[in-house]
C-alpha cells in the first residue's frame, strides 16, 4: 500500500508539472479572481491573532505559501504587503516549475516584486534552512501528499510559536460522487498516462452518466461539470483524473490538526462553519437529545454525514494558545444590519443555507454584549457596566468566531502593529 501511495504521489507531481492550475489571465487578476475566502487580512488578524495587526501598516512579517501553485494566494499576500508597506518575506514554495513560472509571470504583470520563490518540497522544510514564519498558507495541497501528517508536521515546525496557518483540505462526503468518477476513470485508463486523451475520455464519461449514477450530480444537486475557466483540461485532471486525493471527514480533519500539535482557531467561511454544528439545523428532539451529549468534534461528523454538502474544510489553526475574541480587552463592533437578537430562533434574520434556515442561538448575555458594542468601549467595560455573566460569554466564543468571516462583527484594530520578538 505504501509503495502504491508513493507511486501515485509521484504521478501527481507530474500532473502539476503538466497541468498547473488554476490558470488566470491578467484581466482575472485585475478583477480580483485571485482572492480566496480565507485570504483576508482582517479575518486572519481576528481569528488567528485575537485582532492584533499581524498584517497591517509597516509590519515586518514572514509568510509561507506552501504548495502555492499558480499563485492565487501569493498574489493576495504580495498585494497586502505592498498596500500596507510591509517588510519581511513572502515565500512561494512549490515543487512544480511550471506552476512557479505562471505565478512569477502573474506577479510581474501586476508589478509586484516582493516574493521569493523556492522550487522545493514541503517535506524538505526545516527551520535551519527556512527559519520561522508568522503565517503559513496551504490551500488544497495536504490531501494530495503521500504523507499528509508529515506534511502538516513540517508546516507546523516552521511556524513560529504564536503563529498561525490557513489550511484547505478536501472533505469526504460532499466529494463522494467525484471519487466514484475518479475510480471509474482509473479503471478505464489503466496504466496509460494523464494527458489530453485521458481528458477527452473523462469528458465522454461525464456525458455518459445517467441520473442514477453516483457521479452525475455534485453536492449542491447540479449536474457535475467543470467551470468555464478550464483552459487546457487542467480542471478535468484535478477533479476526475487525480492520482492521489485523500479526503477527510470533519472529525478526521480536527484530529489531523491535533496530531500536528496545532489548535483549530476558526472556519474561513461563515456559511460552512454553521454546517459543522448539527444543533443549528437538526429538528428531531430524539436526535437532538443524542447530539447534546456528544463533543463538538463528534457532532460535526454527524452533521457532515447528514447534509453531505461540504467539499472542503477551510480552517485556521494556531501554534500555541488560541486568543479569545470575547476577552475583556477586545474592542468590537456589530456591523450586520439586523440586530443580534433578530438572528435568534424567533427572529427574522436566520441565515438560509441550502435546505436550512439557521438561527444563531447566542446566550442572552452575548446578545446584550453584542447590542452594546460601539467600536470604542472594551468588552470588559461593557461586561462590568451591564453585569453580564462571563461564563455564558465564553460558551459563545466559537459561535462568535464563526460569524467573523461574514463580517457581521469586526474587531477594532489597535492603532499600532503588534511588535514581535
Ligand atoms: C491543487 S494545487 C493547489 C495550488 C494552490 N495552493 C492553490 O490553492 O491554487 C497543489 C499544488 O501543490 C504542489 N505540491 C504537491 N506536493 C508538493 C510538495 N511536496 N511540496 C511542494 N509543493 C507540492 C503541486 O505542485 C501543486 O502546485
Q: Is residue 31 helix, strand or coil?
A: coil
Q: Is the CB of 39 under 6 A from ligand 1?
A: no
Radius of gyration for the alpha carbons in the chain, expressed in angstroms and rounded = 22
DSSP string, 376-393: SSBHHHHHHHHT--HHHH
Q: Are the C-beta atoms of 72 and 37 separated by less than 8 Å?
A: no
Length of the chain: 421
Q: Give yes or no for residue 96 CB within 6 A of ligand 1.
A: yes
DSSP E strand stretches across 40-158: 60-66, 87-93, 116-118, 133-139
3-171+247-318 has which fold?
Rossmann fold (3.40.50)
- Does 139 sit in the ligand 1 pocket, CB within 6 Å? yes
Phi, psi of 238 (to 5 degrees): -60, -40
DSSP E strands, 71-132: 87-93, 116-118
Helix spans in 246-356 (H): 250-259, 270-273, 285-292, 296-307
Distance CA 183, CA 241 (A): 9
Task: Give the per-residue pLDDT at 1.
Answer: 45
- Ligand 1 close to Cβ of residue 46 (< 6 A): no
How far is Cα 69 from Cα 141, in angstroms, rounded to an integer? 9
Residue 134: phi, psi to the nearest 5? -80, -35
Backbone phi, then psi, for 139, in 5-degree steps?
-100, 120
The position carrying cell 505559501 is 65
User: Quick one: pLDDT at residue 2?
Assistant: 56
This prediction has a pTM of 0.95
Q: Which three cell numbers stand for residue 207?
A: 456525458
Residue pLDDT tens, the chain, 421 long: 456 999 999 999 999 999 999 999 999 999 999 999 999 999 999 999 988 889 999 999 999 999 999 999 999 999 999 999 999 999 999 999 999 999 999 999 999 999 999 999 999 999 999 999 999 999 999 999 999 999 999 999 999 999 999 999 999 999 999 999 999 999 999 989 999 999 999 999 999 999 999 999 998 889 998 988 899 999 999 999 999 999 999 999 999 999 999 999 999 999 999 999 999 999 999 999 999 999 999 999 999 999 999 999 999 999 999 989 998 989 999 998 889 888 877 777 888 888 888 888 889 999 999 999 999 999 999 999 999 998 889 999 999 999 999 988 888 866 555 555 4
Which of 342, 392, 404, 389 has the alpha carbon at shortest distance from 363? 392
Nearest CA to ligand 1 atom 9: 69
Which of 9, 141, 165, 243 best tests ligand 1's pocket when mutated (most atoms within 8 Å of CB)? 141
Residue 17, Cα to own-chain centre: how many angstroms? Answer: 24
Q: What separation in angstroms does the CA of 282 have from each of 271, 363, 370, 413?
A: 16, 19, 26, 37
Asked if 82 and 76 touch (Cβ cutoff 8 Å), the reply is no
**Residues 39, 37, 238: CA angle, nearest 5 degrees:** 100
Rounded Cα gap, residues 412 and 52, in angstroms: 9
Residue 117, beta-bridge partner list: 92
pLDDT at 319: 97
User: What are the sequence ranges of the domains in the chain?
Assistant: 3-171+247-318, 173-240, 331-411
**For a substitution probing ligand 1, which of 15, 33, 38, 69 has the most ligand atoms within 8 Å of its CB?**
69
> To which H or E segment does residue 356 belong?
strand 356-358
Beta carbons of 99 and 70 less than 8 angstroms apart: yes
Amino acid at each position: 500500500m505504501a509503495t502504491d501511495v508513493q507511486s501515485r504521489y509521484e504521478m501527481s507531481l507530474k500532473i502539476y508539472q503538466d497541468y498547473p492550475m488554476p490558470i488566470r489571465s491578467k484581466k482575472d487578476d485585475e478583477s480580483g479572481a485571485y482572492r480566496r475566502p480565507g485570504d483576508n487580512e482582517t479575518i486572519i488578524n481576528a481569528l488567528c491573532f485575537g485582532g492584533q495587526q499581524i498584517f497591517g501598516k509597516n509590519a515586518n512579517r514572514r509568510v509561507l505559501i506552501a504548495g502555492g501553485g499558480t499563485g492565487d494566494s501569493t498574489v493576495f499576500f504580495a498585494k497586502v504587503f505592498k498596500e500596507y508597506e510591509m517588510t519581511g518575506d513572502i515565500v512561494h514554495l512549490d515543487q512544480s516549475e511550471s506552476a512557479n513560472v505562471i505565478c512569477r509571470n502573474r506577479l510581474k504583470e501586476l508589478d509586484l516584486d516582493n516574493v521569493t520563490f523556492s522550487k522545493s518540497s514541503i517535506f524538505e522544510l526545516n527551520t535551519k534552512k527556512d527559519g520561522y514564519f508568522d503565517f503559513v498558507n496551504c490551500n488544497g495541497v495536504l490531501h494530495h501528499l503521500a504523507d499528509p501528517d508529515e506534511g502538516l508536521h513540517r508546516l507546523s515546525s516552521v511556524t513560529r510559536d504564536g503563529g498561525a496557518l490557513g489550511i484547505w483540505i478536501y472533505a469526504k462526503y460532499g466529494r463522494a460522487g467525484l471519487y466514484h468518477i475518479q475510480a471509474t476513470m482509473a479503471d478505464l485508463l489503466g496504466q496509460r498516462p494523464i494527458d489530453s486523451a485521458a481528458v477527452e475520455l473523462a469528458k465522454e464519461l461525464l456525458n455518459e452518466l445517467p441520473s442514477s449514477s453516483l457521479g452525475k450530480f455534485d453536492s449542491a444537486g447540479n449536474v457535475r461539470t467543470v467551470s468555464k475557466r478550464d483552459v487546457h483540461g487542467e480542471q478535468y485532471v484535478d477533479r476526475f483524473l487525480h492520482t492521489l486525493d485523500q479526503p477527510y471527514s470533519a472529525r478526521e480533519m480536527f484530529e489531523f490538526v491535533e496530531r500536528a500539535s496545532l489548535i483549530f482557531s476558526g472556519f474561513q467561511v461563515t456559511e460552512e462553519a454553521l454546517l459543522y454544528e448539527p444543533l443549528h439545523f437538526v429538528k428531531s428532539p430524539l436526535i437532538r437529545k443524542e447530539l447534546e451529549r456528544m463533543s463538538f468534534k463528534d457532532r460535526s461528523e454527524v452533521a457532515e454525514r447528514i447534509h453531505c454538502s461540504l467539499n472542503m474544510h477551510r480552517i485556521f489553526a494556531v501554534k500555541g494558545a488560541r486568543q479569545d475574541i470575547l476577552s475583556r480587552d477586545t474592542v468590537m463592533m456589530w456591523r450586520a444590519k439586523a440586530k443580534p437578537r433578530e438572528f435568534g430562533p424567533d427572529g427574522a434574520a436566520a441565515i438560509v443555507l441550502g435546505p436550512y434556515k439557521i438561527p444563531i442561538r447566542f446566550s442572552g448575555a452575548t446578545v446584550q454584549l453584542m447590542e452594546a458594542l460601539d467600536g470604542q468601549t472594551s468588552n470588559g467595560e461593557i461586561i462590568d457596566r451591564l453585569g453580564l455573566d462571563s461564563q455564558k460569554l465564553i460558551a459563545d466564543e466559537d459561535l462568535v468566531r464563526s460569524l467573523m468571516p461574514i463580517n457581521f462583527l469586526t474587531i477594532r484594530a489597535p492603532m499600532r502593529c503588534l511588535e514581535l520578538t
